[in-house]
A = this chain, B = another copy of it.
Amino acid sequence: MTAKNSYSDIKKTVLARIRDHTWPPGSIIPGEVELSEEFGCARATVNRAMRELAEDGILDRKRKAGTRVNKFPIRHAKFAIPLIRTEITSTGAAYRYTLIDKKSLTAPAWLRARLGLPDNAKTLHLQCLHFADNIPFQFEDRWININAVPSVEHADFTTDGPNEWLIKEVPFTDVEISFSARVADKEIAEYLSLSVGEPVFTTERITWLSGNPITFARFSFGRGYSLKTRF
C-alpha cells in the first residue's frame, strides 16, 4: 500500500529495489497482480512500468515464467544521429557545405559486394565537405544506387547535401550504421587538413527500402571528434 500509482513512480520504485538489492540480479520479482495490489493501482499501470523496464534491458519477462531482474543489463545507448547541418548549427557554429565531386559510375566491386548489387549496376558517386565555422568538419563519400532512385540523376547537390535530399525524397525501411577508427589516406587528409596516417573517426551508413539498397555513405570526421551520449 505504498500509495504510488503513476507508472513512472512504479518504475522508480522498482529501480530503487533493484539498486538496493531488495530484488537482486537474477531474482524473480512478484507478479503484476501482486504488485498492483501493493501499489494500489490497476494491473495495466504495473504492466506499462514493467514493460518499459524490460525494453530498457533492466528486466527480463516471459509469459508464465514471470519477471526477473536481468543479471547483466544490456544497456541500450541511444545516440542522436542528427543531420550534419543540425549537429553543426546546434553548437553555434556556422554551417557550410561544398560539393567536391559528382560522377555517374558503374559500381566498383567492393560496393557491389557490400550492397549486393548486380554487375554493371549504375551508381552516382558524390564527395562532399561539411564545414563548421569554415573549418572542415566532415568529409562525406557517398554512393547512390541509381536503379533504386532514378530521379537522383537530375538532382542538384550544389546547395544542399545528398543526405537532406534523400531524406526528403526517398523512403527507406532499414538502416545500418557502424562506427570505427580508420587511417586518413591522402585524399581524406587533404580535405580534413590532417596528416596521412592520422586516426579518423568514421561512420558508415547503408539504407535500404524493403531489401533494396538505396545508398552507402562513409563519413570521416575531423581531428578530435567524439560522439557522446548520456543516460
- A77 engages B79 (CB within 8 Å): yes
- A167 engages B231 (CB within 8 Å): no
Smallest distance from the beta carbon of A56 to chain B beta carbons, Å?
11
- A168 engages B25 (CB within 8 Å): yes
Q: A57 to chain B: which residues have CB within 8 Å?
A: 80
Q: A21 to chain B: which residues have CB within 8 Å?
A: 171
* Count, chain A residues at interface, CB 8 A: 51
A36 contacts B by Cβ under 8 Å:
no
Q: List the number of copies, as a whole number.
A: 2
* A73 touches which of B74, B167, B177, B178 (Cβ 8 Å): B167
* A231 touches which of B174, B180, B209 (Cβ 8 Å): B174
Q: A72 to chain B: which residues have CB within 8 Å?
A: 82-83, 86, 164, 167
Given known A-B contacts A76-B81, A78-B77, A175-B74, A225 and B167 have beta carbons under 8 A apart? no
* A76 touches which of B74, B78, B202, B230 (Cβ 8 Å): B78
